[in-house]
Amino acid sequence: MIHSVVLEYRKCRGCTTCIKNCPTEAIRVRNGKATILNDRCIDCGTCIRVCPHKAVKSVCDSFDVLKNYKYTVALPDPALYGQFQHLDDVDIVLNGLLEIGFDSVYETAAAAEISSGYARQYITSGTKRPMPEISSACPAVIRLICMRFPKLIPNIAPVIIPAELAAILARKKAVAETGLKPDEIGVFSIVPCSSQVTASHSPVGLKEPVLDGAFAIRDVYLKLLGPMKKLDKEHLKPLSSAGIMGVGWAYVGGESAARLNERYVAVDGIENVIRMLEEIEDGRLPEADFIELRACTQGCVGGCLCVENPFGAKMRTKRIMRELPVSRNRYDPK
């Protein structure tokens, strides 16, 4: 997969709305139809949001791909939890994933906590790093930097995204528990945006993918509604493995807060991200230690593959976090 964002030409009216809003000028109109330039697209999903004719979409994996593996693991992004109204227990969602066909679940939020632990240790180690350090968590932002702000590439934090770390850990755990070969186990992320779909097949900074595919939150959400209502809340399997620090990565500022005691700036929305990168490139933000940048409004809860309003989703996520411990996972250098 080169890009998950694609155009349905029969729906396109050549209205140029997508051209006016594309942050990397990756779209042209030719013969009355829009065309996406693969070498400029960063899969931010802006065109998906603004197209008045619904001619742009993100192509995700089909659930039929689960049949290709003897054992499957779901990696739900914490943004998934904020899509459900009146949800008071993350285990309801995680058990629901087992009901719709997955054999196991590994929370991306758990990997986010490990990543945060690594960041805290890295900060206190005294290792020299270009300042300010820029978060590597949003694939769209990383692709944007590589294209428009190459001088800032050294400032990107030297860590993989939580979904990739979760995939590595989940596969290792599944091999140990099942005795199956790694390629017999399918590990799939459940993601909020098109950039993460693309990253699951064409990761930035890795030689080869560690994920076997990605499903859109909106598609999984629809599949979960029925099974979740039928679950007996008194007999749920205790699957939740992440705390506040991990689940907080669902919205902008959550990653920064989990680093603790750093001067940070958290920015959401692709246009705001671009302005911030311009300021960093010009040296106008010297007092910040860390810059958290998210292409979507309010962060991952505002991804183009989510269901709910990002502001409402953020509120629900925070409500869920009140019932969680601070953290359940630590970074172990061994």
The arrangement of strands across the sheet holding 133-134 comes to 133-134, 290-294, 264-268
Q: What is the pLDDT of residue 84?
A: 97
Report the alpha-carbon distance of residue 15 to residue 19 in Å, rounded: 9
What DSSP line would sit under 93-138, residue for residue? HHHHHHHTT-SEE--HHHHHHHHHHHHHHHHHTT----SSEE----
pLDDT tens readout for residues 85-137: 999 999 999 999 999 999 999 999 999 999 999 999 988 888 888 899 999 99
Per-residue b or e along 182-216, where b marks 16 or more CB atoms closer than 10 Å to that residue's CB: eeebbbbbbbbbbbbbbbbbbbbeeeebbbbbbbb
The Cα 204–Cα 283 span in angstroms is: 26
CA atoms within 13 A on the CB side of 79: 32
Rounded to 5°, angle at Cα 126 from 125 and 131: 120
Question: pTM higher than 0.85 for the full model?
Answer: yes
What is the per-residue pLDDT for 1? Answer: 59
User: Which of the residues in the chain have pLDDT under 50?
Assistant: none
pLDDT score recorded for residue 297: 97
